[in-house]
Each structure stands twice: as C-alpha cells, then as structure tokens.
Structure 1
C-alpha cells in the first residue's frame, strides 16, 4: 500500500484524499436513509440560515451537507478515472466539476418532483369553513401570531395553522373555522358566551 501511495502523483493523491472520506460519508448517509434515520436537519440555506425542515413551498437548497458529500464523491472518483485514462489535468478537473454538478442538478430535479407530490395542492382550505376542531398549539389573541388546530375535513384529520381575532385559545379548546385568510384558518371558540 505504501509503495502504491508513494508511486502516484500529488495530483492523483489530491483526488484520493477527497475520495476516501467523501465515499465513506456517502455510504453512511445512504445507510441512514435506508434505515430511516436520515433527517433534513442539515439543510443550510445559501445565506447561511439553518432550516430545520424543508417545506414544499420553500425553494430547494443548493448548498447542503448532503449535496457537498455527493459532489465531492462524484468529483473525486471522476478525477481518479480521468487520470487513469490519461486525460490532462485541466480536462480531469473540468470533468469532475461537470459530473459533480450534473448529479446535484439531477438530484435537485428529482427532489423538486417529490416535493410536488407532497404538496397539498388538492386540499381546499375553504372546505374547512364551518368545521369544528380542537386547538393543538395555543393560538394567541389578536390575529398577529398563529397556532395550530386539528380539524377533520376532506376525509382526513389535518393539523393546520390558525389565527383568532378573539381571546387566546389554549390547547384543547373546541373551535369552529369561520374563514380562511392568507392560507391560515381563522377560528373562534365554539361555545362563545
């Protein structure tokens, strides 16, 4: 092993130094996905804000830990392949960059398609008007901040964001949906006295 390492060029060593750890991290990442432990908590917005979940209405993130691992894995193995085929250094780096970015672009395209499938495009919030439900997370008074309610409409129990213009509604309060504003349910206490 030592003879092999001494016998390769520094340029090839660069690619091997990237390939081994990025491939190991890639394998760990795939195992976590398969066993269901994977979490999108590593998503880092381009502006540096940490987003703890990826909602369907949030733009896809280009710079993530997952994408970096995938990019460096593809880039490094493409570089090693290019050197084995005796490509020039410039062509080898270019090939690695192009293939790495192409794989990321393909994955973002696939992820965008998957997110479209999870969108609530067929859920019409207007059908919730008049429905009775329960407060799940306390809804502050005044309609400036939202809480969450659980309501049963369109054949399933849904947890949705809601506001109230009346008094604060604590968890467990029975509510009725009175209207929809800006994608939020407007609710009030069911038995107002």
Structure 2
C-alpha cells in the first residue's frame, strides 16, 4: 500500500502551479472564516475606497477586504481549473484575472443593493 505524501505531491508541481496554490489556500481559508463570521454577524468594519456614491449615505465599495479575498479565491481556483485543463500560462492568467474581477464586482454590486434595500426598509419603518 502506497501512501501519497504531501511533500511528494508538492515537489511534483511546477513553480506556476505552486504560486496558484499559495494564493488559493490562504484566500479560501480566509473566505470561509469571513463567511462564518458574517453568518454569526461578527463582521468587522474595514477601510474602503469609495468608488461611486449613488445617494447620500450609500456608497459603492469596490476595494475592501471582503472583495479582495473573493477576488483571490476565485482567481486561484479558476487558475487551478485552467491549469488542470491544460491551457497556456498566458490564458490561465487572463481567465483568472477576468473571473476574479467579475467576482469582485459582483460582490460589490450585491452589497451595494443590499445596503440600499436595508436603507429603504429602515426609512419605511420610521
């Protein structure tokens, strides 16, 4: 019976794949922790860059910690999937960047509209 060693697996990877794993594992762990904290309402306030202000008090926050972790998580996993398919390094990077940016933008849009909805509900209750 042959047991696979994590060291043997890691040594068998090329440098490009190792970089993707080094991005994916920490980003995924932080993403899972963030989701658990969000579920238990222990989300902390983070500094953000305000990109667009639609109405007073509601801002579109593209660059915050949650969105960056989402970017790196999708960037890493999509890159690893592309590596598994056998695409070239350039194609892998382009696809990973596009999918990561789509995830980042999607998360920002969802939270923007959730905050807008919460504000309208709060105003309706007053």
Task: Compute the TM-score of the two structures, normalised by the length of structure 2.
Answer: 0.82
5 Å matches for 1:1-193? 1-39=6-44, 41-45=45-49, 57-120=57-120, 123=123, 156=126
Q: Report the alpha carbon displacement of residue 62 of structure 1 after superposing the two structures with TM.
A: 1.2
Q: Report the alpha carbon displacement of residue 36 of structure 1 after superposing the two structures with TM.
A: 1.2
Q: Distance in 1 between matches of 2:15 and 2:50?
A: 32
Q: Greater share of helix residues, 1 or 2?
A: 2
Q: Distance in 1 between matches of 2:50 and 2:16?
A: 30
Q: Distance in 1 between matches of 2:39 and 2:121?
A: 28
Q: Distance in 1 between matches of 2:92 and 2:125?
A: 56
- Asked if 2 retains the 8 angstrom alpha-carbon contact of 1:75 and 1:97, the reply is yes
Q: Distance in 1 between matches of 2:56 and 2:99?
A: 27
Moved beyond 6 Å, runs of 4+: none
- Asked if 2 retains the 8 angstrom alpha-carbon contact of 1:56 and 1:116, the reply is no
Task: Compute the TM-score of the two structures, normalised by the length of structure 1.
Answer: 0.55
* Greater length-normalized contact order (CA 8 Å, ≥ 6 residues apart): 2
Paired residue secondary structure (1:96): helix
Q: Distance in 2 between matches of 1:106 and 1:34?
A: 19
Unaligned runs of 5+ in 1: 48-54, 124-153, 157-193
Superposition CA RMSD, Å: 2.4
Q: 29-38 or 56-65, which moves further after superposition?
A: 56-65
Q: Report the alpha carbon displacement of residue 103 of structure 1 after superposing the two structures with TM.
A: 1.1
Paired residue secondary structure (1:109): helix
Q: Report the alpha carbon displacement of residue 82 of structure 1 after superposing the two structures with TM.
A: 0.6
**Residues matched between the structures, number:** 118
